[in-house]
Amino acid sequence: MTEPRRPLIWSPEALADLSDIWDYYAQAASRQTADSIIRAIGNAVRLLEDHPYGGRTRDEVRPGLRSIAASPHVVFYRVIANEIAQIVRVIDGRRDIDAIFEEPDGN
């Protein structure tokens, strides 16, 4: 019998990021492309349900922050109580990540 998956918590900023990503790709390419990108991000994040420490540490951005790639996007998250992943942001890896996290709502 397998253990139940650990829950994920999505910050309002991360949910807004997903919406913005979908909107961008739906307009720039197609709805199918947007769906595919969001699905790829979801697949990367699903790994965190079983392996919350699977991503790399990103203490250089913010203490306690971790990330996992969903190319070209980077999913930033924190581990809470050693088992629950809180998704903080989903950002295109080509953007200035340090500047985004310096913003007051960067999380």
Residue ranges and CATH numbers for the domains of the chain are 8-102 (3.30.2310.20)
* pTM exceeds 0.85, yes or no: yes
> Using an 8 Å Cβ cutoff, are 54 and 47 in contact?
yes
- Quick one: pLDDT at residue 19? 98
| Closest by CA position to 68, among listed 79, 81, 54, 83 | 54
Q: What is the pLDDT of residues 34-49, one digit of tens each?
A: 999 999 999 999 999 9
> Using an 8 Å Cβ cutoff, are 67 and 74 in contact?
yes
- Quick one: pLDDT at residue 82? 82
**Residues of the chain with confidence (pLDDT) below 70:** 1-5, 105-107
Bridge partners of 46? Answer: none
